[in-house]
Chain A
């Protein structure tokens, strides 16, 4: 089952950053909540980066608003469950993994939510061979990550909470308020140990999938992780990711011109925020998410078009098609919004003529 650490595709956060966690714990003299490996202050430093008194540098795991991370940590410190909301590609799972790694040193207690997640995956199941052979017993019980987290006083992560069917979600309601999980078959229960908590992530564009009941919502404090704050930050993320993806796909085209990438990111940001970058013109936002991840795929796709069918350098024509595809998800509403954007914004920018024309051409 277990792999050698150097052959796994991706190591757990607590393994990858073991040294940083060790150094932090050594330097950390502040008060720790029961069963926490670090103090809230040290957890914040672990996520946001910083330099310790002994000169050791902690790398930043999350680049963005310090306050959001502080709210998340304060939530966990007050024994409330934490819900991380955000559009895809805003580092929800990443933050949840690192929070867990820093607080209880174990990020493996994970429920991966899908439409098929069953109640057994949230509470407990049975080893049927044992159940038949021995009857109901502790040994025949298969504990869920949630149950183990309760018993060990650790943090359980629930990914994609809103994809889990509503009746299964509701398991969490009593667990979070009573802090106990009854096992009627054995006439016993698991009472959670101090330090137990839940971090759930959900995609806020998909709220409709299996909307959380208000009873469950009330048990979570919500932190919304935003899209990158500045154009430069986002362009940098896109640049790095496109670079590594391009190498992986072995695309022969040159690394894309920063200028073309900037324009794509500009379009995405402007439509996403409903406001031009200069803050002068209001825009309507289309139904599409337009996340950083999509900007990355637009540029990669354009790059591959340029390599295989174009001049080899990324031009406006290469990205136009996939930009339109990313923006226009709803054929009537989004199209109107997109045309409006082209006519009122893109058309008026003198150095955007090529992009405007290329986009007009594919939008017809």
Chain B
């Protein structure tokens, strides 16, 4: 039945080697415990949280939840132990609490582990973020593996002993002909429906494996593991004296090391003089998507929703219920998914499993069957299945009397350090960003905003003169923020980490350009350089896929502002420059096609975008960009069927930049106003060309004459039609300009040259002063 080591008389210790979050393990464990009827239970977990175990049976406790152990003075130093309902540890706790059996944790306490992990030299250790990233990469690879060949991903056989130690199960899996250890474990152990002798088999396999593998290549890790196993042996020794039937639940890998507990002296020597810090423990709500990424055991799982299904469903209905759920999900998204297809899907999955010699279809077979039967080979719906079913969106709950979360503590620490007390009544604060303390306060408020804790509301600068060094905030603390903090705590243990993690999540789930640009501005204000990098990368890839040039143009000015002015916060702008580079190129390439067929409303919008983009690019003062932009404008100016407003504007911008000669501009105006062109389009051209400033008409006779004669030759009714349009154009000029143009129109062009009689002597008097003013 269970792996046991007897020790004198009737006292016995029973070992249950499990896989964290393994459904099959949980099921076999529960059965085995009920059969054994132990009178004490030890679980591989942090003894720091022993007092909290009892809360697990609280009526308001709903997994997925996590035990969080952290250093209250440095909330960043933390470890968390997530539990799903199908975690064997969770089932063991529930069994023990339900039967009123003493249950305690036996792992090396985090008060010793945390200083080992975070004490200098800390660089040697992998920070939690790294495991995060690794898990993500693994997840992506998993997605691709479904559709692409795997052999390319196989690691080269470098040092087989070291490799074996890094992933010992891999060796067993490969021996059994599986490409990855997770799948192998799943098929051999988790998906096995009857498993009476399973724990003995696991113990034997692990013993053989441990004999075959060398030391872990990371000495720090190897040392920690030795300490952990010594501590577990010590705890078992202490507990077995008091119990007749002791059940020990731990990761399968550890079982062989815990069997022989005779060398007390060696363990004591190893555990002597361990560093120690104070720790606080609490329960926090968890989610399946977090469970799929990382966990305190370092054994994240990729498919929590699928495991939940395995746990909830009767063994003989797993395949059909899963296929029905897939069909239900797809139907809800307007894909066709009939009952007949569910039947076909089940049959295909079972045939695939049979072909591969597996007792039951696994997730691979389910996905492949769904792909062939429901999705017509299109993998897009599969992503939906992955998000909603395989990972799932379960969110846990913890009872309100669980202790405070570290995020709350971090917030309190920062409020104290920055002398920014939460007060219920509204008060306006003026932060001078040149002062470090005020800058830090502003940073904190911006980060809280990213976590949706709207303690401060940013106010418009009240006095323009104070410039960009000042920020005004209206602060008012509301009691419900306490809940918002708990909700935000799933993102991280410090305000900075949590804000960064949430930004990352938002950036990754958003796929349109403008929200990401807005997010980038917020992130830069909140001074989260790592998050900014992620947002920028995301921005870059989204920009590459955006075929709507208008959206690209809209997001450019904000980025250019960041790049050109940096900001008071001394952000690193090299990354922004890279993104801007891509944006400018894409805008320039796509501009002319985007301007090709516009109606009046779209043309008006594009007109504004042309102006904005033009000033943004001018601001950048990069010769390469300017050249490309002018090239793109020239293409717009040459569009034969382009809307007059846009084409006229392009000509004007090119004229102002000195690219088009006055003669060329005049020629284009004549073309635009020629009789073949519809008068409304011609008027639009004029509007685009002249809007904002009419001075050009005063200095260029040809332009004036062309426009004048066009107007004069317009038929009466057309003139009436165009009058409002022209009036709108001219009303944008400054009033002296309008007056002068009016005078020229009244007198005709020749009069002006008559009037231009200069008094040489009087003019000469002004010149020296002008020279001084202009610094010539």
Contacts and interface: CB of A to CB of B under 8 A. Distances in A.
Q: Do A and B come from one complex?
A: yes
A353 to B, nearest CB: 16
Contacts of B378: 224
Q: Which of A74, A332, A336 has the most C-beta atoms of chain B within 10 angstroms of its own C-beta?
A: A74
Interface string A30-47: 000000000011001000
A44 B544 contact: no
Contacts of B369: 71
A167 interface: no
B236 to A, nearest CB: 45
A283 B589 CA distance: 14
Nearest to A348: B581
Given A222-B377, A229-B148, A340-B586, A75 B541 contact: no
Q: Which of B149, B344, B545 has the most C-beta atoms of chain A within 10 angstroms of its own C-beta?
A: B149
Contacts of B336: 214, 218
Given A281-B544, A340-B589, A67 B372 contact: no
A80 interface: yes
Contacts of A358: none
Contacts of B146: 67
Given A44-B355, A218-B341, A332-B593, A80 B585 contact: no
Contact of B540 (A73, A274, A282): A282
B761 interface: no
B355 A74 contact: yes
Nearest to A341: B589
Contacts of B411: none
Contact of B593 (A44, A224, A229, A336): A336
Nearest to B352: A74
Interface in A54-84: 64-67, 70-71, 73-75, 77-78, 80, 83
B373 A221 contact: yes
A100 to B, nearest CB: 18
Contacts of B147: 65, 226
Nearest to B147: A226
A295 interface: no
B598 to A, nearest CB: 14
Contacts of A80: 344, 347-348
A217 B355 contact: no
A181 to B, nearest CB: 21
A222 B348 CA distance: 11
B590 A336 contact: yes
Contact of A221 (B148, B344, B364, B547): B344
Given A283-B544, A344-B586, A77 B344 contact: no
A80 B369 CA distance: 12
A85 interface: yes
B596 A218 contact: no
A64 B542 CA distance: 31
Nearest to B372: A221
B544 A65 contact: no
Contacts of B377: 85, 204, 222-224
B5 interface: no
A43 to B, nearest CB: 10
B338 interface: yes
B149 A65 contact: yes
Nearest to B356: A70
A72 B193 CA distance: 28
B589 A65 contact: no
B695 interface: no
Contacts of A218: 336, 338, 340-341
A73 B355 contact: yes
B590 A340 contact: yes
A75 B369 CA distance: 9
A336 B591 CA distance: 9
B372 A223 contact: yes
A315 B460 CA distance: 61
Nearest to B144: A229
Interface in A173-222: 204, 214, 217-218, 221-222
Interface residues of B, number: 41
B511 to A, nearest CB: 11
Interface string B566-595: 000000000000000010011011100100
A241 interface: no
A70 B355 contact: yes
A230 B152 CA distance: 8
Given A221-B344, A281-B544, A343-B589, A41 B372 contact: no
A214 to B, nearest CB: 6
B322 to A, nearest CB: 17
A41 B352 CA distance: 11
Nearest to B357: A41
A26 to B, nearest CB: 21
A274 B590 contact: no
A315 to B, nearest CB: 26
A339 interface: yes
A339 B589 contact: yes
A262 interface: no
A12 interface: no
A326 B585 CA distance: 23
Contacts of B152: 229-230
Contacts of B582: 281, 344
Contacts of A75: 348, 351, 372
A71 B684 CA distance: 61
A263 interface: no
B762 interface: no
B497 interface: no
Nearest to B547: A284
B746 interface: no
Nearest to B148: A229
Contacts of A77: 351, 355
Nearest to B592: A336
Contacts of B148: 65, 226, 229
A40 B547 contact: no
Interface string B147-170: 111001000000000000000000
A67 B368 contact: yes
B376 interface: yes
A74 B351 contact: yes
Contact of B351 (A65, A78, A230, A284): A78
A85 B352 contact: no
A29 to B, nearest CB: 14
Nearest to A333: B593
A336 B635 CA distance: 13
B736 to A, nearest CB: 44
Interface in B341-398: 341, 344, 347-348, 351-352, 354-356, 364, 368-369, 371-373, 375-378
A41 B355 contact: yes
Contacts of A64: 149
B585 A340 contact: yes
Nearest to A281: B544
Nearest to A276: B544
A223 B348 CA distance: 12
Contacts of B354: 74
A64 B373 CA distance: 21
Contacts of B589: 336, 339-340, 343
Nearest to A343: B585
A269 B249 CA distance: 51
25 contacts: A65-B147, A67-B364, A71-B352, A71-B371, A74-B351, A74-B352, A75-B372, A77-B351, A85-B376, A204-B377, A218-B338, A226-B147, A281-B541, A281-B544, A282-B540, A282-B542, A282-B545, A284-B545, A284-B547, A332-B593, A333-B593, A336-B590, A343-B585, A343-B588, A344-B586
Interface of B: 146-149, 152, 336, 338, 340-341, 344, 347-348, 351-352, 354-356, 364, 368-369, 371-373, 375-378, 540-542, 544-545, 547, 582, 585-586, 588-590, 593, 596
Listed from nearest, the 5 A-B pairs whose CB atoms lie closest are: A224-B377, A282-B544, A74-B351, A222-B377, A282-B541
Given A71-B372, A282-B542, A336-B593, 10 more contacts: A40-B355, A214-B336, A217-B376, A222-B377, A230-B152, A281-B544, A282-B540, A340-B585, A343-B588, A344-B586
